[in-house]
Amino acid sequence: MLLSRHSGPLRKCQGPNCTWNTPGRPALSCGLEEYLKRFYPSDAKSRDADGFGARLKEMQKFFRLPVTGMLDSRVIVVMQQPRCGLPDTREDLPSRNRPKWISKVVTYRIISYTRDLPRVTVDHLVAKALNMWSKEIPLSFRRVVLGIPDIVIGFARGGPNVTPTRQAFSLGWLSGLSSGFLKQNVPEAHKHAHRPAAHGDFYPFDGPGGTLAHAYEPGPGLGGDAHFDEDERWADGRGLGINFLAVATHELGHSLGLRHSSDPDSVMYPTYGARDSENFKLSPGDIREIQELYGKRSKSRKK
C-alpha cells in the first residue's frame, strides 16, 4: 500500500502499469486504485464489479459509508488507516463448506521475532491471542519448537526498499532476507507467473504503515500461517506502537478460518484503530462466528 500511517506527503505510484500515474492526476487516485484492486478483487460471479466505481462502492458498503462511488474524505480516512493485508470481499459459503481445522489440537511454531519486543513477550501475547479463540471453541493449540507445525508464525520485512505492491509483484523480489516461511510446497493457486517475494510468499510487505500483517485460512502448506510486518513498530499495548496482541488475535482469527467483518467492534474489522487498546476482547459477533465454524466449548472446560 502506498500510504504511511504517519502524516506526510502521499507517495506517488511508481507501478509500471499504473494508468493513474499521469500528469495532472492526483497521486491519491492511483493509491486508491491499488487499494481497491487489492482489497476488493472482483470474483467471477460479479463481472461488472471490475470498474473503479464499482469497487469503490463495494468498499463504501463494507465500511458502512455513503455508497456514492465517488472519492471523498471519508474514503481517504479509511484508506490511510493501517490494516490487514487480506481482502474484504467474502465468498458467501455456508459455514460447513468453509476451510477449518479438523484436528482438535492444532500446533503452532514461532519461527522469527520482532526486535521491538522481548521474545518472551511475543510468546506470551501469541498464546494469549490463541487463547482468546480457543476458550470459546472445542479446539486447543500446542506450541512446538521443532518440526513442521500447522501454523507458522513470524515477523518479516517486505524488502530493502518500499515500493508499491504492484511493482513488487512484477519484479518478484528475492531479497534473501527471510525465505524460511515456506513450510511445504506452495499451493497451486499461489503459483501464477510470479516468483516468491521477499519473505517466502507472494505478498510482500510494504514498510511502515499500510499492511501490518496477513494470514492464511486453514489448510496444508502456507495454510494457517500468520506473518507480521517487521517494519512496523510493535508494542505490548503500552506506549507508542501497534498493539501486537490485537493484530495477532485478528490474524489468528484468519488462521482459524474467519473473514473480515464490517462491524467496527469486531476483532476481524480490517483496519487497525482506537478499539485495539490493551483491554480489548472478542465481540459477541466474533464469538458467534468462530462457534459457527467449530461449535462451543463445554462450560466446564472454559477457563
List binding-site positions for Ca(2+).
Answer: 116, 150, 206-207, 223, 225, 229, 232
Judged by CB under 5 A, the residue of 89, 163, 165, 211 near Ca ion is: 211
Contacts of 222 (CB under 8 A, 6+ apart): 181, 182, 183, 186, 187, 190, 201, 216
Select the binding partner of residue 210 from Ca ion, Zn ion, none (C-beta < 5 to 8 A, by kind). Answer: Ca ion
The residue range among 8-16, 58-66, 172-180, 193-201 that interacts with Zn ion, by the rule CB under 5 A, is 193-201
Active site residue 251: yes
Judged by CB under 5 A, the residue of 206, 276, 286, 289 near Ca ion is: 206
Judged by CB under 5 A, the residue of 30, 75, 84, 130 near Zn ion is: 84
Could you say whether residue 86 binds Zn ion (CB under 5 A)?
yes
Contacts of 130 (CB under 8 A, 6+ apart): 108, 141, 252
Cβ pair 204, 158 in contact under 8 A: yes
The residue with its CB nearest to Zn ion is: 84
Judged by CB under 5 A, the residue of 33, 34, 136, 201 near Zn ion is: 201
Judged by CB under 5 A, the residue of 34, 229, 276, 286 near Ca ion is: 229
The residue with its CB nearest to Ca ion is: 229
The residue range among 60-68, 116-124, 139-147, 208-216 that interacts with Ca ion, by the rule CB under 5 A, is 208-216
C-beta closer to Zn ion: residue 20 or 216: 216
The residue range among 70-78, 167-175, 196-204, 284-292 that interacts with Zn ion, by the rule CB under 5 A, is 196-204
C-beta closer to Ca ion: residue 150 or 232: 232
R_g over Cα of the chain = 19
Q: Which residues bind Zn ion (CB under 5 A)?
A: 84, 86, 201, 227
Q: Which residues bind Ca ion (CB under 5 A)?
A: 206, 210-211, 229
